[in-house]
Amino acid sequence: MANASGFISSPIPSLRRKSLPSFGVSRSGFCPFERIIIRVLSCSAVEGVEKHASAVSPSESRVPRFVNKGCKLVGCGSATPNLMISNDDLAKIVETSDEWISVRTGIRNRRVLSGKDRLTGLAVEAAKKALQMAEVDPDDVDLVLMCTSTPDDLFGSAPQIQKALGCKRNPLAYDITAACSGFVLGLVSAACHIRGGGFQNVLVIGADALSRYVDWTDRGTCILFGDAAGAVLVQACDGSEDGLFSFDLHSDGEGRKYLNAMARDDETDHVLGSNGSVVDFPPRRSSYSCIQMNGKEANQRIIDAVATRLAVPPDRVISNLANYGNTSAASIPLALDEAVRSGMVRSGHTIVAAGFGAGLTWGSVIVRWG
């Protein structure tokens, strides 16, 4: 568990575990926990008072006062591309087979963006579904967090999502880059904005299109990744109803060598020359390399191993890895949305989510749904 600056941890007597099971998420999977001894993170936060008339500018619409404030997850949504690529499809372009891939990774299909489809479109679709479930109007959204490592725009995609949703008050929108752990960071960031900034409704989106950076001739990586988007609406609530119990976040730059997609110079630019003015000027245009991974494949066995180590029965682990592959920042919200809509996760259930990815970055969080 990690305590952020300004947060005070205090014990809670009950999480209603007697009648409601709890689930955990690891990348594309959930694992439930019957007994979790945790502490609630709470703090004195800033809350907005009455909404001003529409004529008042958004920057003036939040007059703070100190109260005990919590946050809860009240809506979710997801979206995937229409194009599905099976293991048999991959076997036509690289030396592999359905059996070879499924045995080693647990993956059988993945979705890939094609044609004029864009990641922003998937993110908007997922966000609309989350708002609809939460019964929150786009104009009531105070913040949009786009967790992605593959934005449509170098400068970030969150503002375009805000525009597409029709948020007329121009709420803040920005991107968070942390690969597979991005969504976990987004949830914690949303809680900080709510508890310490007076925000009421924060839209957290996890979306990635790693197919853009996959070497489709490398069977070691092309079999693993897919594209998707998932979203959650995090809403302010009374401190006694707080649904974010604990979190743990870390990074280790030494691990970059194991998983990266580095910027590289465009080799065709050198023919333009520098006209004899300044050496190495103008600089060459840059692009990104394909995903470079040094290590074992990310696969279903990782989820199974975590569940076994924590003594979690298999029937309490929800995984959609077989259908979508590794969708990076979208993995957790995509699995969560399917679990909620299928009835596997219901209001009051406790969820443990964990993500580990490039950077290296990793994080885990314990939350209550609803």
- The pLDDT assigned to 267 comes to 62
- Residue 169 falls within a domain, yes or no? yes
**Residue 256 domain-assigned?**
no
Residue 79 lies in a domain: yes
**Residue 258 forms part of a structural domain:** no
Domain count, the chain: 1
**76: in domain:** yes
**What pLDDT does 363 receive?**
95
Residue 353 backbone phi and psi in degrees, to 5: -120, 140
| Domain containing residue 201: CATH number | 3.40.47.10
Query: Residue 242, SS3?
Result: coil
Q: Cα separation of 305 and 311, whole Å?
A: 10
Q: Can you tell me the distance from the alpha carbon of 17 to that of 51, in angstroms, rounded to the nearest whole number? A: 37
DSSP letter string, 87-143: HHHHTTTSS--HHHHHHHH---EEE---TT--HHHHHHHHHHHHHHHHT--GGG--E
pLDDT tens digits in sequence order for the chain, 370 residues long? 333 322 222 333 333 333 445 555 444 444 444 333 332 333 333 333 333 334 444 444 444 444 579 999 999 999 999 999 999 999 999 999 999 999 999 999 999 999 889 999 999 999 999 999 999 999 999 999 999 999 999 899 999 999 999 999 999 999 999 999 999 999 999 999 999 999 999 999 999 999 999 999 998 889 999 999 999 999 999 999 999 999 999 999 898 888 877 777 766 555 555 555 566 777 777 777 778 877 655 778 888 888 899 898 887 888 899 999 999 999 999 999 999 999 999 999 999 899 988 888 999 999 999 9
Q: How many helices (H) and strands (E) does the chain have?
A: 9, 20
**In-domain check, residue 22:** no
Answer whether residue 74 is part of any domain.
Answer: yes
Q: Residue 227: its pLDDT value, please? A: 98
Does an H or E element contain 71, and which?
Answer: strand 64-79
Domain coverage including residue 329: 69-251+296-369
The reply to whether 62 falls in a domain is: no
Helix (H), strand (E), coil (C) string for 264-325: EECHHHHHHCCCCCCCCCCCCCEEECCCEECCCCCCHHHHHHHHHHCCCCHHHCEECHHHHC
